[in-house]
Amino acid sequence: MRPGTVSLVGAGPGDPELLTVKARRLLDDADVVLYDSLVSEAVRDCVPSSVERIDVGKRGDGERTPQAETNALMVRRARAGDEVVRLKSGDPCVFGRGGEEAEHLAAAGVPFEVVPGVTSAIAGPSLAGVPATHRDHASSLTVVTGHQDPTKAESALDWTALARSVTAGGTLVILMGVGRLPDNVAALREGGVDPETPVAMVERASHPDEFAVTGTLDTIVDRAEDVGIDPPAVTVVGDVVSVRARVSDYLRAAGSARSAGGPDEDSPVSTE
């Protein structure tokens, strides 16, 4: 039997209109879609009812599907001749284990392809009026995961180097860092980043209930706590955040949830 193909597909940040044309075609033509927990319901609803859908992310009881189980399922279904879509939030290779799964499929001799998606590292700030780079504000961009404890000696992230990058005018984007926000802010402060450096956090980017909060390195922890920022959220640190104040009133919103408040306003959708 001729094996099927596994497509490692980026679902984007949540808005189905941000799916690529190829991603949408593959969803239409798939035999089975294996999706992660962060893939939005709106994107999942794009999958035809005739296509089998399997949740390989976090289950309702808090358990997670082991990566080895997902790997084995992809191989088994492809060898059975199915066209498999492995659907991941954002881009499959930006903290999405796409590289690991590609290696596993190659080792198993299973044909596969990678279909890039819109990563929240770029979409989150952009949708809130914060450009990742800007000729007048930032010429470098660093994206890191915020899960790791920066106080641990064995941390894979060099927070001193990250602090130097921000101080030099670069943009730092932290994914999955809501729980570690106070630690990450403290690490940047200890690394010499000016406490007045602008910071923005964007929760549920591209979803109807998206909202953003802005502040400085000195105030962002309190501001995020005041409005109740919850995962998934993107944190962006750097002078580019200052652009938001000049564009947010004119930024066309996909929904009312992206309306920006003024400097002294507090609202559940946007806090300056």
Q: List the catalytic residues.
A: 36, 58, 176
- Angle, CA 106 vertex, CA 97 and CA 36 arms, to 5°: 30
Q: CA-CA distance, 138 to 29, in Å (whole number)?
A: 41
- C-alpha of 29 from chain center: 26
CB neighbours of residue 16 within 10 Å: 18
List of residues 6+ apart from 138 with CB closer than 8 A? 132, 169, 170, 171, 238, 239, 240
Tokens coding 164? 């130097």
- Strand positions, DSSP E, the chain: 6-10, 32-35, 52-55, 84-88, 112-115, 141-145, 171-175, 198-203, 211-216, 233-237, 270-271
Torsion 48-54-56-58 (CA) sign? positive
- Beta carbons within 10 angstroms of residue 179's beta carbon: 12
Tell me how far apart the alpha carbons of residues 183 and 177 are, in angstroms, rounded to a whole number: 10
How many helices, marked H, and strands, marked E, lie in the chain? 9, 11
C-alpha distances in Å from residue 234, one per residue of 82, 140, 147, 201, 231: 35, 17, 12, 6, 8
Under 8 Å between Cβ of 57 and 40 = no
Task: Find tokens 């998606």 and name the residue.
Answer: 117
